A and B are shown apart, each in its own frame.
Chain A
Amino acid sequence: MLGMLLARRRWNALWRDALLVSSKDLRIEFRSRVTTTQVAPYAVLVLVLFGFAFDQDQNLLTKAAAGLFWVAVLLSSLLAVQRSYAIEATDGARDSLRLSGLDPAGIFLGKTLAVVAELLILEVLLGFGVVVLFGIQLHDPALLVVTCLAASVGLAAAGILYGMIAAGLRVRETLLPLLILPVVAPVLLGATQAWMAALGTAGGGTDGWRWLSLLVSFTVIYIAAGSLAFSILVEES
């Protein structure tokens, strides 16, 4: 009984810490407007560049739209993660976060939530982009939305975990993509296949919901790994 009560209190404290950290990150983003003035235009620019690379072949673009959308999300998520740690880099913010006494798992979940929120906004924008630029039609909106949610949480969790590992290193800008991109390749694969099924561009027989289960298991693994690893990463250095 007492154990349950304590576990419950710890659980509540965890989420309170997570919401504190995520609201702090999002407030900084809202005020500095780096995400809206730099990351979002970058993502749209990537889509336009894909248009050039495919020589404005509408059929080809429609077919590849799901993959191109997720590559654009992936590249933007790298920027979002780097940004998430750049705001901690100055004024000893990392040390004050460490000394704040917040639950490390709460810090991880909070930073992840903030990046998830940014990615979801970005995905809506990019979704408009692929509809307008690549001429696709949305068949299964429920699958699209659920895929976006699962993939964003997975991308953010893996990104925040590796971002913390690379944080403070002199070579973090070049190291981070090398660490993150192969790790999140399953997200690209699963989300693309699920989207192709939802957009009706898959070659038939592709069950989008089965690919979604891959995304969900990836996300669960990285949420668990990140929550455990952050207690080690926050205490050191």
Chain B
Amino acid sequence: MNPKADTQPADAAGGGVSVSPVSPGVGGAYEPEVSPTVPPAPAWPGGTSDRVTRILGVSTLVTAALTAWLGLVVTPPDKVQGQLVRLIYVHPAVATMCYAGFGLCALASLAYLWPRTRSRRWDRLAAASGEVGVVFCVLTLVTGSIWGRPTWGVWWTWDPRLTITALLCAVFIGYLALRRTGGDPDALAKRSAIVAVVCVLLVPVDHEATTWWASLHQTSTLFRANPLIHGEQLYTMLLSFVAFGLGFAWLVLHRYRVEVLEDRYSEEGFDAAISERRAEGGVLTAANRASDGVAL
């Protein structure tokens, strides 16, 4: 069918493990060559099927299912809000995970900027948690919007809490865009870390927005001396924090693993490219010698 597939058995066979950045179509006689100096795969994190990941994933599923059952079936509807109150088992937990993501991103960035603790690991953690934080920030805005429409009558209003959350989202989207610019990884890590540390200053402002300004958004339900909800509603809400927390950790772990793989890819790709150039050089030298021999 594809004549190229026949002429390139090496690529077809090694397609799954090829680490070369050169596409198989370029240069008919190219065979991926991995130099012997390629570093071994890091012990941690292992594959997606390692024990920690599995336990995290399974417990996320179990607690999420339990939260859904308690939240949708067991707990009663609210006197004022009716069925809408069930969003309290999603929205606050999602928003907290958004803060957790940005907070973790900033802490890891600080650890990277501090010369004594500087390590690629912190940069990877910052990348992973920043990205997961943005996902949860968007989810916060979406679930809040869904809640706002029936209770406040609008999808969106220029309330301090809402506006600052939107700004927070925009600021960290900028952070992710900066992370994608490429170039020297260490310089980029430093620049990104500075942006993360500066941007996270918005998080406390966002959190206190409901108390500092006259906000349409309600203040905290849970974190006060006398929580505003009781009994099974309280337990379901607490369980939702556990479920989303586990899900958050699971996502960060997966995203961290991708960062490790990307680092390995660029390192090994570089090594492969060098050994390829060397091989080409070897061929050229041999050809030169041959032609020299003819001339002589």
CA of A237 to CA of B173, assembled, Å: 24
CA of A178 to CA of B180, assembled, Å: 13
- CB atoms of B191 and A165 under 8 A apart: yes
Kindly provide the distance from the CB of A221 to the nearest chain B CB, expressed in whole angstroms.
7
- CB atoms of B174 and A179 under 8 A apart: yes
Which single residue of chain A is at the shortest CB-CB distance from B198?
A225
Interface of A is mostly: helix
Contact pick for B187, options A162, A171, A179, A237, CB 8 Å: A237
Kindly provide the distance from the CB of B196 to the nearest chain A CB, expressed in whole angstroms.
11
- CB atoms of B190 and A179 under 8 A apart: no
Chain B 162-196 near chain A by CB (<8 Å), digits 1 or 0: 00000100110110011001111011001100110
The 13 sampled A-B contact pairs (Cβ below 8 Å) are A165-B195, A169-B183, A170-B181, A175-B174, A175-B178, A175-B181, A181-B170, A183-B198, A221-B201, A222-B198, A225-B197, A232-B190, A233-B191
* Known pairs A161-B198, A165-B178, A169-B181; A232 contacts B113 (CB<8 A): yes
Q: How many residues of A contact B (CB 8 A)?
A: 23
Using a CB-CB cutoff of 8 Å, which residues 176-204 of chain A contact chain B?
Answer: 178-179, 181-183, 185
Contact pick for B167, options A169, A182, A222, A237, CB 8 Å: A182
Name 7 extra pairs, CB < 8 A, besides A225-B194, A225-B198, A236-B190: A178-B174, A182-B167, A182-B170, A183-B171, A222-B198, A229-B194, A236-B187
A-contacting residues of B (Cβ < 8 Å)? 113, 167, 170-171, 173-174, 177-178, 181-184, 186-187, 190-191, 194-195, 197-199, 201
Residues of B within 8 A of A222 (CB): 198
Contact pick for A233, options B182, B190, B201, CB 8 Å: B190
* Known pairs A161-B198, A221-B201, A229-B194; A171 contacts B181 (CB<8 A): yes
CA of A231 to CA of B174, assembled, Å: 22
- CB atoms of A165 and B194 under 8 A apart: yes
Residues of A within 8 A of B171 (CB): 182-183
Which single residue of chain B is at the shortest CB-CB distance from A178?
B174
